[in-house]
Amino acid sequence: MGAEDLDDLTRLHLDARVMATMGGVRSPAETTEWLGRQVDHWRQHGFGLWMARDRATGQFVGRGGLHHVEIDGRNEIEVGYCFRAEFWGRGLATELARASVRIAFTELRLPELVCFTLPTNGASQRVMQKAGFRYERDLVYKDLPHVFYCLNASAWQATAGDRFAC
């Protein structure tokens, strides 16, 4: 993800349907600022969010990956994902979440990952479950109720064969 992705991200962040579960639409100025933070995250940590593109056409379909987040005063690494509405229901978020988990545990050797979302975001929770995450607890994040899921490296390694059989 870099400065060249600003237009695609601005359009994504202006779509009310996509952003309903992500704190609401973001203005172009907010997306510019947000993208700057993502680029800094890559520089600082050597990982971050990716742009997801259709393999055949190169068309932008969504974004996601690994990033630091503070939850209840604790630094965690979250797997996040957000896709253009036209591309929902094709397994893309699951593909991206699973790839993020694999990279986190095999290449980056991170010990644990988290995921969280609104309790009403059934699709996101299903993606978490398919990527191997387990519900841990409810939490309040940015003044809203959320469900919090975790996955640690040893639990993932124990079942990785099953998860990546396809």
Ligand X SMILES: CC(C)(COP(=O)(O)OP(=O)(O)OC[C@H]1O[C@@H](n2cnc3c(N)ncnc32)[C@H](O)[C@@H]1OP(=O)(O)O)[C@@H](O)C(=O)NCCC(=O)NCCS
Enumerate binding residues for ligand X (CB under 6 A).
18, 21-22, 81-83, 88-94, 117, 121-124, 126-127
| DSSP letter for each residue of 53-111 | E-TTT--EEEEEEEEEEEETTEEEEEEEEEE-GGGTTSSHHHHHHHHHHHIIIIIS--S
User: How far is the C-alpha of 117 from the C-alpha of 80, rounded, in Å?
Assistant: 10
Hey, what are 108's tokens? 């980056």
Nearer to ligand X, 126 or 137 (CB): 126
Nearer to ligand X, 119 or 154 (CB): 119
Nearer to ligand X, 18 or 41 (CB): 18
Handedness of CA 22, 81, 43, 156 (dihedral sign): positive
Q: How far is the CB of 78 from ligand X (least distance, A)?
A: 9
Q: How far is the CB of 3 from ligand X (least distance, A)?
A: 23
Tell me the residue nearest to ligand X as measured from the CB.
122
Nearer to ligand X, 108 or 144 (CB): 144
